[in-house]
Amino acid sequence: MNSAIVLLFAVAAMLGGYVFYSKFIATKILALDNSIPTPAHTMKDGVDYIPTNKYVLWGHHFTSVAGAAPIIGPAIAVIWGWVPAIIWVVLGTIFMAGVHDMSAIWASMRNRGQSIGSIAGTVMGTRVRSLMMIVIFLLLLMVNAVFGVAIANMMIKTPSAVLPVWGALIVAFIIGQCIYRYKMSLVWVSIIGVTALYGLIYLGPMFPIVLPETFLGLPDNAVWIIILFAYAAIASLLPVWMLLQPRDYINGLQLFVGLILLYAAIFIATPNIVAPAINTALPIGTPSMLPLLFVTIACGAISGFHGLVATGTTSKQIDKEEDVRFVGYFGAMGEGMLALGAILAATAGFATLGDWQAVYQKFGDGSIGAFIDGGATILNAGVGIDMVLSQTMLTVMAALFAGTTMDTGVRLQRYIFQEFGEIYKLPVLNKSVVATLLAVGSCLLLAFGAGGIDGAGGMIIWPLFGTTNQLMAALTLMIVTVILLRKGRPVWYTLGPLSFLLVMTVFALLIQLKTFFNDGNWLLVIMDIIILVATILVTFESLSVLRKEWSIHKGKSNL
């Protein structure tokens, strides 16, 4: 199959979803109304609550939710074949991810910018809130610890990416000053920022940076992990306009340029997809596609981490309610397009089926390496960019996305500790510095406590990331459904996706529990059981609330 044809149909379907379905959800279900002041205005504080241009905020939301997961997940899931992966990404983006992100922002906006955990307490009671906080904490722990390890590995593997990755911070800081302090035109700031970023990418291969193999007894990847978390701690304490927003915005533009180049290369080179449409010769030990496909590709189809960002930072910066459609739905769609690019790079970026099979020898192979190498091959063939420069560009793209997710993730974990402080009357946790140190400390404890001196402990709990992530998405949709029901609005558009996700995640948790038990992996067995029990309890509590609200709503309808 020609990859250009697949790309054309998939993008057309997603654009149709944005033009028609998102408009329907925005006007008929959520009833977005610009006359209602948003928390960014009513609670403006110059740090977290700031009315923001919708294009800048789209960049923040898009890059914060994207991370490296929409590359890693799809590039692994193609082991079952490219057709199931494409179908799940396209339909998931149109009917689930876009609705999830929009409705999560809307729910938070109408509840004073509260996080999804706090909204759960307001809407469904303190028991649900406490259970959800456990799931949220574990999810953030996984994301931050794993992305720290992933970025460190990328910088070691591709030293040419180090200069542009860290240089992007200076570019972002200057952009923030230009936009907010000097009120410069967003168009010119964007052009200068993107040019500077790609200038750094061009210089990267000329000035590769390699750390010593050991420093104070620590290997180079451990040193990178410590540096990354020190940076993330500082960044999470700065006002969002100073680094987080402009960094996300410029990275969002960079991704769009990168995606346009990759898409253009596919249309010019028109490489054939060499991977099987549906793989009937799976390597031994590959788990069943059902339900694992739906948790392996989380980001890129639908992801619970989006709900944390949507209700954690994005909702506090919405200028007008109608911006929610562009920021939320189009942000999710951007991630779907990235996942689409990852699938095609990991299936059409190989010369032959044999070359592809040599990489995909067992479940978990391929991943980000297949995206970078396959994508670089397509870029080289399509638009003639040198292989090393192409690999640097794609590595920088992945590293910057993972980095922006870390920035937001550590900030969100700080919010969680502060919320724990409010819930359990512990004023010391309300202090930003203390909460940040606890957030970063818990990630480093996992990384080095479970992983030893190389700091790879975050990867140990990675197998549970997909299921926890999808569970979080289902729970977010559950809360939105209850709110919609109380307002007398149709709920099928959130009830359908949440039902599907709940069935798939519980199914996946049970399968994984059996695997972890057979492997004697007791840490994962314990964590799996904790997540499974929390899921069942939250589901029963939620069904009870839904049933009660449904009866009330039905009673009102019959009056």
Give the pLDDT confidence of 218-269 residue by residue, as tens digits.
888 889 999 999 998 888 888 888 887 788 788 878 878 888 899 999 999 9
**Alpha-carbon distance 92 to 110, whole Å?**
26
The DSSP 8-state label assigned to residue 450 in this structure reads T
With CA atoms as reference, report the closest residue to 455 among 168, 151, 250.
151
Residue 449 pLDDT exceeds 80: no
Structure tokens at 158: 């591709």
- Please indicate whether residue 367 or residue 434 has the higher confidence score (pLDDT): 434
> Residue 83: what pLDDT?
97
- How much of the chain exceeds pLDDT 70, in percent? 97
* Mean predicted confidence (pLDDT) in 477-499: 92
Structure tokens at 171: 């570019």
Confidence class of residue 398 from pLDDT cuts 50, 70 and 90? confident
> Residue 465: what pLDDT?
80
Count Cα neighbours of 242 within 13 Å in the Cβ-side half-sphere: 9
| Bridge partners, 272 (sequence order) | 2
Query: CA 444, 138, 245, 156 torsion: positive or negative?
Result: positive
> Residue 237: what pLDDT?
87
Residue 48 pLDDT exceeds 50: yes
Residue 274 pLDDT exceeds 90: yes
Q: What are phi and psi of 83, to 5 degrees?
A: -65, -50
- Please indicate whether residue 31 or residue 160 has the higher confidence score (pLDDT): 31
* Mean predicted confidence (pLDDT) in 382-389: 89
**Alpha-carbon distance 18 to 20, whole Å?**
6
Q: Average per-residue pLDDT in the chain?
A: 88
* Mean predicted confidence (pLDDT) in 462-469: 79
Sequence-ordered list of residues with C-beta below 8 angstroms from that of 345, at least 6 positions apart, any chain = 75, 262, 370, 371, 374, 375, 378
Confidence class of residue 72 from pLDDT cuts 50, 70 and 90? confident
Q: Can you spell out the DSSP letters for 256-310?
A: HHHHHHHHHHHHHH-PBP-S-SS-SSPPTTPPPHHHHHHHHS-TTT--HHHHHHH
Confidence class of residue 142 from pLDDT cuts 50, 70 and 90? confident
> Residue 194: what pLDDT?
87
With CA atoms as reference, report the closest residue to 458 among 71, 147, 153.
147
With CA atoms as reference, report the closest residue to 270 among 6, 11, 89.
6
Please return the burial class of 554, using the count of CB atoms within 10 Å of its CB with bins 0-12, 13-18 and 19+. exposed
With CA atoms as reference, report the closest residue to 312 among 133, 485, 53, 167.
133
Q: Tell me which of 270-284, 465-479, 535-549 is least confident.
A: 535-549
* Mean predicted confidence (pLDDT) in 153-166: 86
With CA atoms as reference, report the closest residue to 398 among 157, 194, 86, 38.
157
Residue 204 pLDDT exceeds 60: yes
Confidence class of residue 358 from pLDDT cuts 50, 70 and 90? very high
> Residue 556: what pLDDT?
61
Sequence-ordered list of residues with C-beta below 8 angstroms from that of 4, at least 6 positions apart, any chain = 266, 267, 270
Structure tokens at 115: 């996080």
* Burial track 425-462 (b if 16+ CB lie within 10 A, e otherwise): eeeebeeeebbbebbbebbbebbbebbeebbbbbbbbb
Structure tokens at 39: 């928390």
Residue 213 pLDDT exceeds 90: no
Q: Is 183 left (phi over 0), alpha (psi -120 to 50) or beta?
A: left
**Alpha-carbon distance 61 to 218, whole Å?**
35
- How much of the chain exceeds pLDDT 90, in percent? 38
Residue 68 pLDDT exceeds 80: no
* Mean predicted confidence (pLDDT) in 501-507: 91
Q: Where is 493: in which H helix or E strand?
A: helix 492-519
* Mean predicted confidence (pLDDT) in 129-149: 82
Supply the angle between the helices 69-77 and 387-423 in degrees, to the nearest 10: 110
Which amino acid is present at 203?
L
**Alpha-carbon distance 520 to 501, whole Å?**
28
Domains of the chain: 3-460 (1.20.1730)
- Please indicate whether residue 371 or residue 128 has the higher confidence score (pLDDT): 371
Structure tokens at 268: 């010019």
Q: pLDDT by residue (tens digit) across 466-486?
A: 888 888 899 899 999 989 988
Quote the Cα angle for 344-3-290, to 5°.
55
* Peptide bond connecting 291 to the previous residue in cis, omega within 30 degrees of 0: yes
Q: pLDDT by residue (tens digit) across 317-353?
A: 999 999 999 999 999 998 999 999 999 999 999 999 9
| Bridge partners, 52 (sequence order) | 318
- Please indicate whether residue 63 or residue 418 has the higher confidence score (pLDDT): 418
* Mean predicted confidence (pLDDT) in 146-166: 85
Quote the Cα angle for 270-275-280, to 5°.
150
Sequence-ordered list of residues with C-beta below 8 angstroms from that of 440, at least 6 positions apart, any chain = 229, 230, 232, 233, 410
Residue 377 pLDDT exceeds 90: yes
Q: What are phi and psi of 356, to 5 degrees?
A: -65, -45
> Residue 559: what pLDDT?
47
> Residue 88: what pLDDT?
97
- Please indicate whether residue 415 or residue 289 has the higher confidence score (pLDDT): 289
Structure tokens at 294: 């739906």
> Residue 266: what pLDDT?
94
